[in-house]
Structure 1
Amino acid sequence: MKEEEFARRLRAAGARVFLVGGWVRDYVRGVTPHDKDYMVSGITEQQFTALLPEAVKVGRSFPVYLVTIDGQRSEVAFARKERKTGSGYNGFSVDYNPEVTVEEDLYRRDTTMNSLAMELPQGEIIDLYGGIADIRQQRIRAVSEHFCEDPVRALRAARQAAEFGFAISDDTYALMAACQEELGAEPAERLLAELRRALQAPKPSVYFRSLARAGLLAVVFPELAALIGKTQPVAFHPEGDAFAHTMLVVDTVAAETDSLLARFAGLVHDLGKGQTPKEMEPHHYGHEERGLAILKAWNARMTLPREWLQGGLFVIAQHMRAPRIGKAAKIVDLLLAVDKSCLSWPEFNAVIRADHHSLPWYLAQAPAIVRQLKRVSGRDCPAGMTGPQVGVWVRNQQVKVYRNLLIDSDCAD
């Protein structure tokens, strides 16, 4: 069904039809909009399903239907207003009767740029709370005091700042800070969903810095908050403390790759510095081992994607030695270990390069070197060799292959 037909059917029954959310926001921003979300008011569920019998209901606490419009499965929600009755995002009483207005629905949304609506079919934009002005001023501002009623909105505001490069208003920071108590009780799945989207942003650091300014970083990501104030040798880290370094690394990785795995690995590579004894600073001897334990504890608290956990642990363990080892045998072992890990070479190298500002020859040329190493086969070992002897022979041959490649590359020390 075409959008015009969808709107015509509903309007003929006395309903109003709106485009809402990100599509309208991006339209105003001059960015190509993507998925469309619709809202209807002035109609009952019974009338709606009679007009659109093909609609599939997916909403639980309030009506949301999937309808194929212009060839796309789109969400159609009923205008609603809510009353806070408990804690968390489930603590609401929802009213979606036909008398609920678009004004009431938009008033309960998180930020002004998401409180815009476009009425169909004429395309008139409804901007009741200054969303267009805030977009033009690149400002993230809460629509109302209702912002605090869902504490994850504080994370969304920080994430929007990272996604769009907008500044969060001071009054919105105050509302974010007021979410602290309830945010600590939110399901890990909601926190992880916002983390995933924040890592997709052009500069993920904005998300974490915004949470820190609002006093929320220690609530949601105490592992990262522990890095704040951890001093480092200025000669190696002029950017500042361990938190500043981590933010620099994650942004540098994000500038190089869209991989969420690489970005997460960059985010956690120095977690161990958060538990460095004060008397040891600005040095952080042994922070790799401490970091492994911290990331495992993070995973126990908030189950991470398996690939993130594995990749993060690998980078924590290897990020200091990977660009510095000199012995051929150890380099061969490292190259083969990375090749077997869940990280691709571009992902692993993006983190190492961001952390150390350069790559040694053996990492820069790693894919080609590993291909040569893998050509060594135990089937070619001398006759009579068995068991562990074969493995020793293979490794020795691989070391010889690496040394020959190093000489041929004119990169010999």
Structure 2
Amino acid sequence: MTEEQMVEYITAHGGEIYIVGGWIRDKLAGKMPKDKDYVLCKMREIDFCMLFPDAKKVGRAFPVYLLEVDGKKCEIAFARRELKHGHGYKGFTVSYNEDIAIEDDLFRRDSRMNSIAFKLPEKIIIDPFSGGEDIKNKIICATSIHFQEDPVRALRAARQAAEFDFTIEEATVKQMKECGAELRGEPAERIMNELSRALSAQTPSVFFRYLKKAALLDIVFPEIAALAGQTQPCFYHPEGDSFEHTMLILDTVAASTDDAAVRFAALCHDLGKGLTPQNMLPHHYGHEKSGIIALDRWHKRMTLPSHWYYGASFTIREHMRAARLVKFGKIVDLLIAIEKNPLGADGFCTIISADNKMLPAYLKNIHLILELFHSIDMEKRPAFLKGKQIGEWLREQRVDVLASYIKNMNI
């Protein structure tokens, strides 16, 4: 079914259909719009089901249907009002009927830039809260006091600021602060969703900075919040404390890779500095060990994707020694471990380069060195070697290969 046909069926039976959400927001921002979501007004659910018998109901608290439009599965939601009566995102009473206008539905939404509708077939923009002006001015403003009724909206505002390079108005930051108490009880899956999307943003540090400004960082991501105020030696870290350093490395890595696992590892590389005792500052001896403790706490509280967890733990353990190794045997062991870690050689080296502002020679040439390792002819190993001895022989060969390569390259 085409969109034109769907609209014709609905309007012929007295209904009104609107495109809402990210599609109209992106269109007004001059970006390529993505998936369309629709809101339906002035139609009973029973009549909709008679018109579109193939539509699949997916909403529980209120009617949301999936319908194939122009070859894509699209959401069609009935316009609704919400009344807060409990805690969290489930603490709502929802009302929907054919008398609810599109303006009522837009009023319950989070920010003014997301409270815009596009009426079909007339192609009229319905913007009762001046969200178009917010998009033009690159600012995020809460639509109403309803913003703080779903606490995860605070995370969404911070994430969208990072995604779109927008600022958040001060009054909305104050509403974000009001979400703190309820955020403590939110499902980890909702927090994880916002974190994942924030790490994919153009400038992910903006997400964490706004949460810090709204006094939410220590509630949602206490391991990152603990980095604030943890001083570092100025000679090595003129950018400031451990939080500032982490944000700098995160954005530097984000500029080089879209891989969320690598970005997460960059975020976590100095996690142990948040556990450094005050009497040890500005030094952080052993933070590569305490960092694993902090990461494990995070993982226990909010189950992380396995490749995120193992990539971050590898980076925490190895990021300090990677730039300091000189013994060929230890370098060989690390190179093999780097190749096997979930981030891959490029991901790990991207973090080390950002953190140290350079790479040691063996990491600059890691792919070539690994190729030389793989070219070692196992058929030439002595026939009497068994089991563990074969691995020891192979390591010796790799050490010889590395030594020869470095000598020939005058590294």
Q: What is residue 164 of structure 1 aligned with on the other side?
A: 164
Cα deviation code 1:98-137 (max 9, x no counterpart):
1111011000000010000000011100110110111111
Aligned position for 1:121? 121
Take 2:89 and 2:305, find their aligned partners in 1: how far apart are those partners?
23
Alpha-carbon distance between aligned partners in 2 of 1:124 and 1:90, rounded to the nearest angstrom = 33
String of CA shifts for 1:252-311, please: whole Å, max 9, x gaps: 110000000100000001000001011111110000000001101110000111111110
**Aligned AA for 1:272?**
G
- Mean Cα displacement is larger for which, 49-58 or 264-273? 49-58
Task: Name structure 1 gaps, 5 residues minimum.
Answer: none
- 2:268 corresponding residue in structure 1: 268
Question: Equivalent residue for 1:180?
Answer: 180
Aligned runs of 1:14-33 on 2, under 5 Å?
14-33=14-33
Report what 1:252 is aligned to.
252
- Aligned match of 1:210: 210
**Paired residue type of 2:402:** Y
CA drift at 1:342: 1.1
Name the residue aligned to 2:353.
353
Secondary structure of the corresponding residue to residue 90 of structure 2: coil
Q: Secondary structure at the match of 2:236?
A: coil
Shift of 1:372: 1.2
2:304, 2:377 → 1: CA distance? 37
Q: Which moved more, 1:246-255 or 1:379-388?
A: 379-388
- Offset of residue 341 of structure 1: 1.2
* 8 A contact 1:378–1:390 mirrored in 2: no
Distance 2:389 2:65 in 1: 65
Q: SS of the counterpart of 2:247?
A: helix
The residue identity in structure 1 corresponding to 2:316 is I
CA distance in 2, matches of 1:200, 1:386: 48
Superposed, which structure 2 residues align to 1:386-401 within 5 Å?
386-401=386-401
**2: CA distance between counterparts of 1:393 and 1:32?**
57
Task: Tell me the residue number matched to 1:193.
Answer: 193
Aligned-partner SS, 2:279: helix
Segment of structure 1 superposing worse, 378-387 or 391-400: 378-387
Distance 1:357 1:405 in 2: 24
1:139 aligned residue: 139
Q: Which amino acid aligns with 1:332?
A: V
1:376: Cα distance to partner? 2.8
Whole-angstrom distance in 1 between the partners of 2:302 and 2:230:
24
Residues 15-34 of structure 1: CA deviation (Å, up to 9, x unaligned): 10000000000010011101
In structure 1, the residue matched to 2:302 is: 302
Partner residue in 2 for 1:45: 45
Q: Show the 5 A alignment for 1:332-411.
A: 332-376=332-376, 378-411=378-411
Deviation, structure 1 residue 385: 2.3
Separation (CA, whole Å) in 1 of partners of 2:391 and 2:150: 58
1:7 corresponding residue in structure 2: 7
The match for 1:236 is: 236
Name 1:314's counterpart in structure 2. Answer: 314
Q: How high is the TM-score relative to the length of structure 2? A: 0.99
Give the Cα–Cα distance (whole angstroms) in 2 for the partners of residues 31 and 407 of structure 1.
53
- Counterpart amino acid of 1:292? I
Q: Is the 8 A contact 1:250 1:266 kept in 2?
A: yes
For 2:180 and 2:212, the matched residues in 1 are separated by 12
Separation in structure 2 between the aligned mates of residue 243 and residue 353 of structure 1, nearest angstrom: 18
Query: Could you state the TM-score of these two structures normalised by the residue count of structure 1?
Result: 0.98
The one-letter code matched in structure 1 to 2:90 is: N
Looking at structure 2, the residues matched to 379 and 333 of structure 1 have their Cα atoms a distance apart, in angstroms, of 22
Q: What is the percentage of aligned positions where both structures have the same residue?
A: 51
364-373 vs 4-13, which moves further: 364-373
Q: Does 1:91 align with 2:91?
A: yes
Matched, 1:67 2:64: no
Q: Partners in 1 of 2:277 and 2:168 — Cα distance?
A: 35
Query: How far 1:378 moved relative to its partner?
Result: 4.5
Post-superposition offset of 1:59 = 1.1
SS in 1 for 2:255: helix
CA deviation string 1:203-244 (max 9, x = no partner):
100000000000000000000000000000111111100000
CA distance in 1, matches of 2:220, 2:368: 41
In structure 2, what is the equivalent of residue 225 of structure 1? 225
Q: Give me the whole-angstrom Cα distance separating, in 1, the residues matched to 2:13 and 2:265.
A: 54
What is the aligned residue count? 411
2:2 & 2:338 partners in 1: Cα distance? 51
